[in-house]
Amino acid sequence: MKLFFFFASLAVLATTVLAWEKEDHEIFDLVSELEAAEGKGTTFYSWLNVPSTASTSEISKAYRKMSMQLHPDKNPDVKDIHKRFARLGVVATILRNPESRKRYDFFYKNGVPKWRGTGYYYSRFRPGLGTVLVFLIILTSGLHLLVQKMNYKRDLARIDTIRQQAKNAAWGPKAIPLEGQRKVKVNLGGEESMNNRWIEMVVEGQNVYMLDPSGHMYPLDTSAATPPSVSSTWFIASIISLVRKVVPAKIPVSEDNIIVEEDDTSSTAGSESGKSSTQDKENGMKAARLPTTMAGGKRRKGGAKKRASVFQTPAGVKFKFKDRTIPFDILHHSNINRAYWQ
């Protein structure tokens, strides 16, 4: 509550300081009348034909000269000559007074506020829709990056905690590193938590690995946490994802690069023979040998080479051989399922 009254008091003081005084309003009205009578952009100095750095004596001399030209007795038939002559006297009075001239010079350099119906106000910048959207994108992306940094620090701390728990379980209370691998179970909820989210881990020296059901071990270190980056913020990530969908990655693959060979061989029930070769001409990769099978243990006639058709799909490049569609990445797998080629 006290903080609210403090800011409210500051707002009242700021309003009081920024409020225009009576002398300011007189200058504003005089500037408006001068521009309406003499032309837009006319200033006190330009009307008297003196620079803004003119001395008081120079201003007085210019006033006397101009007052003789605008005197009503010399211009009896000129419309509003009396108003112009009176206005000239007020302008000269303001410029010859050091305090009022200082006040006018401030508005001369910074601009005079415009009348807005209820008072004089400076024209405020009104951003357009594009400016607002750019500002919101930058603001939200910056906040997203900040959240990423916070999550990254939290993940690093969690990884360090899990690693320490695994080492404590493997080495015991003395925390003396042991040789060889030690398989332990770690509670992801913490040592004192009743949560049953246990995972199997392997400790080998200072290295800690996560163990999956298939027996593969994955190192648990700082690389497991995703570091923050500008490219992973929501706007940049959306642009990258959209570009990848519109322009799919092109893989230089042609029919000439894929050749499947079948040779005549003899075999008993369920015997397999034949060879398939793939050659990547552009990348200079070594030829990879793929096995082919004999259907039903029968001898296949004809040793002609058969080509596998290559085509592009939204999911990537695929191969078609013997009415079977084979993903491109399966050709890079070491254990190829023979059923693909049957």
**pLDDT for 116:** 65
Q: Using 50, 70 and 90 to split pLDDT, how confident is the model at 178?
A: confident
> pLDDT per residue over 19-30, tens digit each?
678 888 888 889
How would residue 64 be classed by pLDDT, with cut points 50, 70 and 90?
Answer: very high
Position 144 pLDDT exceeds 80: yes
Mean pLDDT of 144-157: 95
Quickly state the pLDDT bin for 277 (edges 50, 70, 90): very low
- Classified by CATH at the fold level, domain 18-121 comes out as Helix Hairpins (1.10.287)
Confidence bin at 125 (pLDDT 50/70/90): low
Query: What pLDDT was estimated at residue 274?
Result: 42
Per mean pLDDT, which range of 36-50, 89-103, 138-152, 302-316 is the poorest?
302-316
Instruction: Check pLDDT > 60 for residue 268.
Output: no
State the Cα–Cα distance between residues 180 and 204, nearest whole angstrom. 6
pLDDT band at 18 (very low <50, low <70, confident <90, very high): low
Residues 6+ apart with CB under 8 A from 82: 72
pTM over 0.85: no
Position 261 pLDDT exceeds 60:
no
> Do strands 207-211 and 288-290 pair parallel, antiparallel, or not at all (unpaired)?
unpaired
Residues of the chain with CATH 1.10.287.110: 18-121
Using only the alpha carbons of the chain, give its radius of gyration: 43
Query: Mean pLDDT across the chain, nearest whole number?
Result: 73
Q: How far apart are CA 23 and CA 102, in angstroms?
A: 12
pLDDT of 138 > 90? The answer is: yes
Distance (Å, rounded) from C-alpha 26 to C-alpha 104?
A: 10
Q: Please give the backbone phi and psi of residue 183, each rounded to the nearest 5 degrees, phi first.
A: -95, 125
**pLDDT recorded at residue 212:** 82
3-state SS track over 243-308 = HHHHCCCCCCCCHHHEEECCCCCCCCCCCCCCCEEECCCCCCCCCEEECCCCHHHCCCCCCCCECC
Nearest Cα to Cα of residue 203 among 178, 172, 173, 176: 178
Q: What is the pLDDT of residue 232?
A: 93
Q: Is 55 helix (H, G, I), strand (E, B) or coil?
A: coil
Q: pLDDT band at 229, cuts 50/70/90?
A: very high
Six token digits for residue 220? 């648990």
11-15, 17-21, 159-163, 332-336 — most confident range: 159-163
Average pLDDT over residues 277-281: 43
Q: Give pLDDT, residue 192.
A: 60
Please report, rounded to a whole number, the percentage of residues in the chain having pLDDT higher than 90: 28
pLDDT recorded at residue 253: 55
- Cite the beta strand spans of the chain per DSSP E: 114-115, 120-121, 181-187, 198-204, 207-211, 217-219, 258-259, 276-278, 288-290, 309-313, 316-321, 324-327
Q: Edge-to-edge strand order for the sheet containing 316-321?
A: 309-313, 316-321, 324-327
Residue entry with tokens 């042991």: 178
pLDDT digits (tens, 9 = 90+) for 69-121: 989 888 888 888 999 999 999 999 999 999 999 999 998 888 888 776 666 66
Question: How high is the pLDDT of residue 252?
Answer: 58
Token pair listed for 268? 């008993």
Which range is most confident: 3-17, 90-104, 198-212, 242-256?
90-104
60 has pLDDT over 60: yes
Task: Tell me which long-range contacts 230-235 makes (C-beta under 8 A, separation of at least 24).
Answer: 230/141, 230/145, 232/148, 233/141, 233/144, 233/145, 233/148, 234/140, 234/141, 234/144, 235/137, 235/140, 235/141
Per-residue confidence (pLDDT) for residue 80, from 0 to 100: 87
Q: Decide: residue 59, CB within 10 A, 0-12 exposed, 13-18 middle, 19+ buried.
A: buried
Q: Per-residue pLDDT for 199 more than 50?
A: yes
pLDDT recorded at residue 112: 81
Query: Regarding predicted confidence, which is higher, 257 or 152?
Result: 152
CB within 8 A of 133, min separation 6: which ones? none
